Amino acid sequence: MVATKNDILKVIEDVKLLSPSAVELLAVASRANHDLKDIVRVIKYDAALTAKTLKLVNSVAFSPQSKISDLERAISYAGENVLVSLVMSETAEMISHCDLAGYDGHKGGLWDHNLLTALASKRVAELSKEPLNSNIAFTCGLLHDIGKAIVSDFLKGSLATILDSLDKGEVDDYASAEEKLLGIDHTQAGYALAIHWNLPEPLPSVIRYHHEPARAAEEHRSLVYAVHLGDIVAMMTGRDTGADAMRYLLDSRYRDFIDITDDDLAQIILETDSGFMKLKESMNE
Ligand SMILES: [Fe+2]
Ligand SMILES: [Fe+2]
């Protein structure tokens, strides 16, 4: 029997909460005027994260000239994006280790796609007509598809039905096919999870509207468009997440928000792919 929206919302209510320092870090990283010192203030009260940060910056991937034992130096050496990625991969294993079986994906595929989207969204945000904090775009990109970790289990066995309804034109995109089948799609499930995890705005809004950016509240719309386009760029690198890759609509009104040429886009696809390899290498140490 196919699950209902209420079954899925019930599962979300029981998802393990993020650690208080992870929530605090995401809250700090989502604030418009934050700097590295704010990040240091969060990490230094968490012994496990402090140890992991120091281990990371002293790894082969970063290979500092001399050993770094001071947390502030370590954080400025690694940079905010690496730190936020590290904390999410350590504290939200349901995202970083998700196998995306319901999407016919592979283990780690969701995490890879989230990293790619984070990198691409950051670059796109730099070209936003309304000035955006590109680090916030990175964090939003990193979390945009968390709902897939929930919905994936409920999609198992329904791939043929979904592809069939897409091929027949009964639905416009993969998210609509999810909603038709389950009464909820991965953006709504992701929004519910973001609220359950106490994530601050703009994260819930970006998660909810990344496939329908025009519906986002005006104050978040430029950022949502940046992640919307970043998500498509991530898929265009060819490192797909599974059966849903490239089965979403691109809202061409992104041009009203992002000052980007086709050449810029091609360049960003290349940079996203090489940035991804580097980031993965540093995270795997
Ligand atoms: Fe998505
Ligand atoms: Fe995505």
Region of 79 (left: φ > 0; alpha: ψ -120 to 50; beta: rest) is left
- Domain final residue pick, 64, 91, 118: 91
pLDDT for 285 equals: 57
Environment of ion ligand 1 (residues, CB < 5 A): 145
Q: Are residues 131 and 220 in the same domain?
A: yes
Which of 201, 89, 205 minimizes the C-alpha distance to 149? 89
Q: How many CA atoms lie within 13 A of 177 on its CB side?
A: 24
146/49 same-domain check = no
Predicted pLDDT at 61? 86
Last residue of a domain, which of 91, 116, 140?
91
66 CA to middle of ligand 1, Å?
41
**Residue 238's domain spans which residues?**
5-18+98-283
Do 66 and 104 have their domain in common? no
Provide φ and ψ at 24, rounded to 5°.
Answer: -65, -40
CA distance 79 to 88: 15
104 and 162 assigned to the same domain: yes
Q: What are phi and psi of 242, to 5 degrees?
A: 145, -150
Task: Mark whether 130 and 172 lie in a shared domain.
Answer: yes
SS3 227: helix
Residues 215 and 272 both lie in one domain: yes
Cβ within 8 Å of residue 282, ≥6 positions away = 56, 59, 61, 62, 78, 82
CA of 142, nearest ligand number: 2
* pLDDT < 50: residue spans in the chain: none
69 shares its domain with 130: no
* Cα 181 from chain centre: 24
At 56, the amino acid letter reads: L
What is the structure's pLDDT at 1?
A: 61
**Domain end among 68, 91, 114:** 91
Ligand 1 centroid, distance to 114 Cα (angstroms): 10
Residues 179 and 264 both lie in one domain: yes
Residues 245, 145: contact at Cβ < 8 Å? no
Q: Are residues 11 and 24 in the same domain?
A: no
Ligand with the closest atom to the CA of 173: 1
Domain count across the chain: 2
pLDDT recorded at residue 56: 92
| Domain harbouring 269, CATH code | 1.10.3210.10
Predicted confidence at residue 281, as pLDDT, reads 87
Are 231 and 133 part of one and the same domain? yes
Helices 159-167, 174-182: crossing angle, 10 deg rounding: 120
**Per-residue pLDDT at 60:** 85
| Residue-wise pLDDT tens digits, 144-196 | 999 999 999 999 999 999 999 999 999 999 999 999 999 999 999 999 999 99
pLDDT at 36: 92
Ligand 2 centre to CA of 113 (Å) is 7
The answer on 75 and 197 residing in a single domain is no
Question: Alpha-carbon Rg of the chain, whole angstroms?
Answer: 18
Specify whether the CB–CB gap between 147 and 187 falls below 8 A: yes
Q: The pTM is what? A: 0.96
